[in-house]
Amino acid sequence: MLEAFVVATILCGFFGILFKKNLLMKIFSMDIMSTGVIAYYVFVASRGGFVSPIVDANGAEKVAYADPVPQAVILTAIVIGFSIQALMLVGVMKLSRDNPTLEITEIEKNNTP
């Protein structure tokens, strides 16, 4: 059930990229898609009945802990996704001077030979 919601978020984002006409909206849709992907990693790592993989001061106790790897690697993806987003928004800012409506068809028409 939860997985279905996560996949639905990814698809919502992707359809936004496909169907929105405004470049800014497309970038926001991409962010939604990446939120979905991140949630999917968290979903894969999470399992009922397990504890967080944190060792307390008394030393390691043999307990079943949740898999930390997907969450650890997705941190990298979050940082990369956010920096790409920032870079793209700067590009959009520059483009918006000459294309104030930011409609993708207009930008494409003006900028392809």
Partner 1 sequence: MNTLTIAWMALPFFAGFTIFILPQLDRYLVSFTAVASAVFAVKVFLMDSPLALQLLDSAGVTLLIDQLSGYFILTNALVTAAVILYCLQTGKSSFFYAQMIILHGSLNAAFICTDFMSLYVALEVSGIGASLLVSYPRTDRSIWVALRYLFVSNIAMLFYLVGAVLVYKAHHSFSFEGLRGAPPEALALIFMALLTKAGIFVSGLWLPLTHSESETPVSALLSGIVVKAGAFPLVRCALIVEEVSPIVQLFGVGTAILGVSYGFFEKDTKRLLAFSTVSQLGWIISAPAVAGFYALTHGLVKSSLFLIAGNLPSRDFNTLQTKPMNTALWIPLVVASLSISGFPLLAGFEAKMLTLKDLLSWQSIPMNLAAVGTVICFSKLMFLPHGNAQPKQLPHLGFWLAIGLLLGGLIFANAVHYELYTVANILKSIGIVAVGAVIYLAGIQRWVFNLPRMFEEFEQLTGVMTLVAVLLFWLAWSWR
C-alpha torsion sign, points 61, 59, 57, 46:
negative
Rounded-to-integer distance, Cα 111 and Cα 98, Å? 11
Q: CB of residue 58 vs partner 1: minimum separation in angstroms?
A: 24
Question: Which residues would be at the binding site for partner 1 (CB under 8 A)?
Answer: 10, 14, 17-18, 26-27, 30, 33-34, 37, 40-41, 44, 67, 69-70, 72-74, 76-77, 80-81, 83-84, 87-88, 91-92, 94-95, 98-99, 104, 107-108, 110-113
Residue 82 Cα distances to 30, 41, 44, 105, angstroms? 11, 17, 22, 26
Q: CB of residue 47 vs partner 1: minimum separation in angstroms?
A: 11
Residue 98 DSSP symbol: T
Q: Which is nearer to partner 1, 57 or 68 (CB)?
A: 68
Q: CB of residue 76 vs partner 1: minimum separation in angstroms?
A: 6
